[in-house]
Chains A and B, each alone.
Chain A
Amino acid sequence: MIAIIDYKAGNLTSVKLAFDALGADARITSDPEVICNADRIVFPGVGAAGAAMRNVQDLGLISTIRNVVEKKIPFLGICLGTQIILDHSEEDGGVDTLGLIPGKVIRFQPTDPRDKVPHMGWNRVQASTRHPLLANIPDQSEFYFVHSFYPVPDHPENRFAETTYAGATFAAALGHQNIFATQFHPEKSGRIGLQLLENFTKWTPNRSA
Chain B
Amino acid sequence: MLTRRIIPCLDIHNRKVTKGVKFQNNIELGDPVEMAARYYEDGCDELVFYDITASAERRPIDIEMVREVAHAVRIPFAVGGGISGLPDMERVLLAGAEKISVNSLAVKTPHIIREGSRAFGAQCIVLGMDPLAVPNDPRFPSGFEITVRGFREHTGIDAVEWARKAVDLGVGEIVVNSVDADGTRAGFAIPLTRLIADAVPVPVVASGGAGNPQHLADVFEQAHADAAIIAGMIHTGEYTVSQIKADLVKAGIPIRQTW
Contacts and interface: CB of A to CB of B under 8 A. Distances in A.
A113 B70 contact: no
A138 B256 CA distance: 13
B3 A122 contact: yes
B203 interface: yes
Contacts of A165: 2
Contacts of A21: 71, 74
Contacts of A191: 74, 259
A45 B257 CA distance: 27
B96 interface: yes
A24 interface: no
A13 B95 contact: yes
Contacts of A142: 3, 256-258
A26 B71 CA distance: 15
Nearest to A79: B123
Given A14-B96, A17-B71, A190 B259 contact: yes
Q: Size band of the B side of the interface?
A: 35 or more
B76 A144 contact: yes
A155 interface: no
Contacts of A162: none
A194 B259 CA distance: 11
A47 interface: yes
Nearest to B44: A190
B121 interface: yes
Given A17-B70, A114-B224, A144-B75, A121 B120 contact: no
B88 interface: no
A116 interface: yes
A114 B1 CA distance: 13
A18 B120 contact: no
Contacts of A14: 70, 96, 98
Given A46-B123, A164-B1, A188-B74, A121 B227 contact: yes
A117 B227 contact: no
B122 interface: yes
A63 B203 CA distance: 39
Contact of B202 (A118, A123, A164): A118
Given A10-B120, A46-B121, A119 B201 contact: no
Given A10-B120, A187-B74, A193-B74, A120 B173 contact: yes
A105 B202 CA distance: 20
A176 interface: no
A123 B120 contact: no
A113 B199 CA distance: 9
Contacts of A141: 258
A17 B173 CA distance: 25
A65 B14 CA distance: 46
Contacts of B173: 120
A177 B14 CA distance: 52
A122 B256 CA distance: 7
Contacts of A47: 120-121
Interface string A37-74: 00000000011100000000000000000000000000
Contacts of B11: none
Interface string A130-154: 0000000010011011110000000
Given A118-B172, A190-B75, 19 more contacts: A10-B120, A11-B94, A11-B120, A47-B121, A114-B224, A116-B203, A118-B122, A119-B2, A120-B226, A121-B3, A121-B227, A122-B3, A141-B258, A144-B75, A144-B76, A164-B1, A188-B74, A191-B259, A194-B74
Interface of B: 1-5, 40, 45, 70-71, 74-76, 93-96, 98, 120-124, 172-173, 198, 201-204, 224, 226-227, 256-259
**Which 3 A-B pairs give the minimum distances between C-beta atoms?**
A142-B256, A122-B256, A13-B96
